């Protein structure tokens, strides 16, 4: 009887520990997103070029079986099938990317130039999302959001993110909007979303605005009037 008693006690203690444990924000995957905005010669936004660094643990898991030499160092060619799977899966999540101009969402095309590479123990996913129509930015408030609103992956710009403008168009001011720490209530709400779900439940949109990781641009005339 004493054995079973001690087990019962243990079960009770376990449940207390679990109940007392605070639920915090815990994404499955950490992503450092290097984002570049591509403009055409007329200064219109045409594409969003991404290079996403995954955390080391997920990188080690992800590259399993892709190293053709069996040395744990897959080449870009080895990883191409995985990049294809990444793209197919991310499509269901709209590539975590939203481009809006004055509040209107711009239509995005299919990804181009995508590949995975594994360097310094980290896998990086490169891909470019073209806009279906070049987007004039002059005088408009343009926002490029790159984040996972379900928080399965915590996407954020790296601390050393350089300017998102490789070929800067007219006078633009960009502000990097970084995600803020989540409160436990929001984290718990997000933790309920299963891996199979691709869309954020409608009621949750309001609470996830803290996760927003975005480049907010003010270009040209709008900048002057403000």
Partner 1 sequence: MTRVFARSAICFCALVASSGAFAGMGGPFGNAPPEEGYGLLVYFPDIIGPFVSAQIAFQRELTAATHAVANDPRALIGLLALSFAYGALHAAGPGHGKAVVSSYVMATRQTLRNGLLLAFAASTAQALCAIALAVVASRLFHLTSVMIANATFKLEIVADVAVLLLGARLVWSKILRPLLRRLTTPPPAPAEALFAGPMASQPMTMPVVSRFAAVGLDAGAASPACDAADADCECGGFHIPDAKFASGLDWRKAWMVVTTTGLRPCSGALIVLAFAISQHVLVAGIAATIAMGFGTFLTVAAFAAIAASSRAGIWGAGSASLARARFIRCCEAGGALLVFAFGLALLAGHILLDAGWSP
Which CB sits closer to partner 1, 70 or 181?
Answer: 70
**What backbone torsions phi and psi does residue 117 show, to the nearest 5 degrees?**
-140, 155
By CB under 8 A, name the binding residues for partner 1: 1, 3-5, 7-8, 10-11, 14-15, 17-18, 21, 23-29, 56-66, 70, 72, 81-82, 85-86, 88-90, 92-93, 96, 121, 125, 148, 152-153, 187-189, 191-199, 201
Which CB sits closer to partner 1, 17 or 104?
Answer: 17
In the complex, least distance from residue 40 CB atom to partner 1, rounded to whole angstroms:
29
Which CB sits closer to partner 1, 45 or 125?
Answer: 125
Which CB sits closer to partner 1, 159 or 192?
Answer: 192
In the complex, least distance from residue 73 CB atom to partner 1, rounded to whole angstroms:
10
- Residue 186's nearest CA partner among 205, 172, 170 is 205
In the complex, least distance from residue 82 CB atom to partner 1, rounded to whole angstroms:
7
Which CB sits closer to partner 1, 68 or 133?
Answer: 68
Would you list the DSSP string of the chain? -HHHHHHHHHHHHHHHHHHHSPP----SEEEEEEEEEEE-TTSEEEEEEEEEEEPHHHHHHHTTTT-TTSSS---TTTTHHHHHHHHHHHHTTGGGEEEEETTEEPPB---EEEEEEEETTEEEEEEEEEEEEEEE-TTSEEEEEE--TT-SEEEE--TT---S-SS--SSEEEEEEPPPPPPHHHHHHHHTS-TT--S--GGGTGGGGGG--EEEEEETHHHHH-
In the complex, least distance from residue 63 CB atom to partner 1, rounded to whole angstroms:
7
Which CB sits closer to partner 1, 57 or 110?
Answer: 57
Which CB sits closer to partner 1, 39 or 66?
Answer: 66
**In angstroms, rounded to a whole number, what is the distance separating the alpha carbons of residues 217 and 168?**
12
In the complex, least distance from residue 158 CB atom to partner 1, rounded to whole angstroms:
18
In the complex, least distance from residue 213 CB atom to partner 1, rounded to whole angstroms:
14
In the complex, least distance from residue 115 CB atom to partner 1, rounded to whole angstroms:
14
**In this structure, are residues 85 and 93 in contact, taking their beta carbons and an 8 Å threshold?**
no
């Amino acid at each position: 009887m004493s054995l079973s008693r001690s087990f019962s006690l243990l079960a009770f203690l376990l449940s207390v520990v679990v109940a007392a444990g605070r639920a915090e924000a815990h994404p499955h995957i950490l992503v450092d997103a290097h984002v570049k905005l591509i403009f055409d010669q007329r200064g219109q936004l045409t594409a969003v070029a991404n290079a996403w660094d995954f955390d080391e643990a997920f990188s080690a898991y992800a590259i399993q079986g892709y190293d053709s030499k069996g040395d744990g160092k897959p080449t870009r060619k080895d990883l191409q099938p995985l990049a294809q799977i990444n793209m197919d899966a991310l499509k269901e999540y709209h590539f975590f990317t939203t481009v809006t101009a004055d509040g209107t969402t711009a239509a995005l095309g299919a990804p181009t130039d995508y590949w995975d590479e594994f360097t310094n123990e980290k896998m990086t996913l490169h891909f470019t999302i073209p806009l279906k129509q070049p987007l004039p930015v002059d005088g408009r408030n343009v926002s490029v959001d790159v984040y996972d609103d379900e928080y399965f992956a915590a996407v954020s710009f790296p601390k050393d993110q350089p300017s998102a403008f490789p070929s800067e168009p007219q006078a633009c001011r960009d502000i990097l909007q970084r995600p803020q720490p989540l409160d436990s209530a929001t984290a718990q709400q997000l933790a309920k979303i299963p891996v199979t779900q691709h869309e954020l439940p409608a009621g949750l949109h309001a609470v996830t605005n803290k996760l927003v990781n975005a480049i907010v641009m003010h270009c040209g005339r709008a900048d002057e009037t403000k």
